[in-house]
Chains A and B, each alone.
Chain A
Amino acid sequence: MMDSTCAHSSSSAKVMENGEQPHVLAVDDSLADRKLIEKLLKNSSCKVTTAENGPRALEVLGLGDGQHNNLEGRISKVNLIITDYCMPGMTGYELLKKVKQESSIMKEVPVVVVSSENVPTRINKCLEEGAQMFMLKPLKQSDVKKLRCQLMNRRS
């Protein structure tokens, strides 16, 4: 459930409980959009890794083909995945499914799907598959702030 009373701090970095900044994996085939989302996230005190497609994103998560899913060995835990829906090859929806079908703790990582198109069947499909949220592009700073707040509330 979304907590609509989350606090908006105007001061500097609101950090995670354990002292770390949330690590967000942003997936989008457009270089301009990756640059944009990265800045929006950094402005909200997030650590950011970007990936240009689904397979690359899975590699970052340690779920790629041929990768040993060694949770202890993973250096940087991803706290949130934001993925574009429309991508050539593996779509954002397919990436979402792969994450949610994991038997490991990786399936708990919240996945937000973004799209420039407001298609109700698409939105429902993603939510049914376990997406945390579906958001419309282009994202604004206020969208990212809201998202980060949600993430904080989820963890505490």
Chain B
Amino acid sequence: MEVGQMQSRLADYTKSLFMEGILDAQFLQLQQLQDESNPDFVVEVVSLFFDDSEKLLNDIARALDQQCVDFKKIDAHVHQLKGSSSSVGAQRVKNACVAFRNFCEEQNAEESRRCLQQVKQEYYLVKNKLETLFTLEQQIVAAGGSVPMIELSF
């Protein structure tokens, strides 16, 4: 596949992520911040988000497994996850966190467990999509091309 085709494929793939609501405008902000002085900025920030999220998801799961569920602690974790997903533009993860926090407030353990599954699902989805996106970018760069800036009108 030649570079032009790879670039179109990447553009289409990226656009689909926005259309499906998996990513929002904040992700574009990250891309716009990437420059020659920080050529791997997006990957770096997203990697921090992945590390953070996985730890938080584990902490939440563990807390929900306790005899006496500490909803305040869980809410704090979900708040953090909401914040970091919001910062990278992972819209569906963020929205799932918002729903989760409502059940934390109600101290509803069963619904909270369901929400955790929902958040995990959205998280693994965005992780998978972003890893694919980064791979497509790497392929273009490896073939000597450059990654075009996506033009999107909202």
Contacts and interface: CB of A to CB of B under 8 A. Distances in A.
Interface stretch (B8-16, B25-33, B62-70): B25-33
A27 to B, nearest CB: 14
A35 interface: yes
A141 B84 contact: no
Main DSSP-derived SS at the B contact region: helix
A86 interface: yes
A32 B41 contact: no
Contacts of B38: 39
Say which size band chain B's interface belongs to.
20 to 34
A86 B83 CA distance: 10
Nearest to B82: A116
Nearest to A29: B80
Interface in A1-52: 29-33, 35-36, 39-40, 43
Contacts of B80: 29-30
Say which size band chain A's interface belongs to.
10 to 19
A147 B90 CA distance: 26
A141 B30 CA distance: 10
A62 to B, nearest CB: 29
- Which residue, B29, B52, B86, B87, has most C-beta atoms of chain A within 10 A? B87
Interface of B: 26, 29-30, 32-33, 38, 41, 44-45, 48-49, 52, 76, 79-80, 82-84, 86-88
Given A39-B38, A39-B41, A33 B83 contact: yes
A32 B26 contact: no
Interface of A: 29-33, 35-36, 39-40, 43, 86, 88, 116, 137-138, 140-141
Contact of A36 (B30, B76, B79, B82): B30
Contacts of A36: 30, 33, 45, 87
B33 A43 contact: yes
Given A40-B33, A140-B29, A141-B32, A35 B48 contact: yes
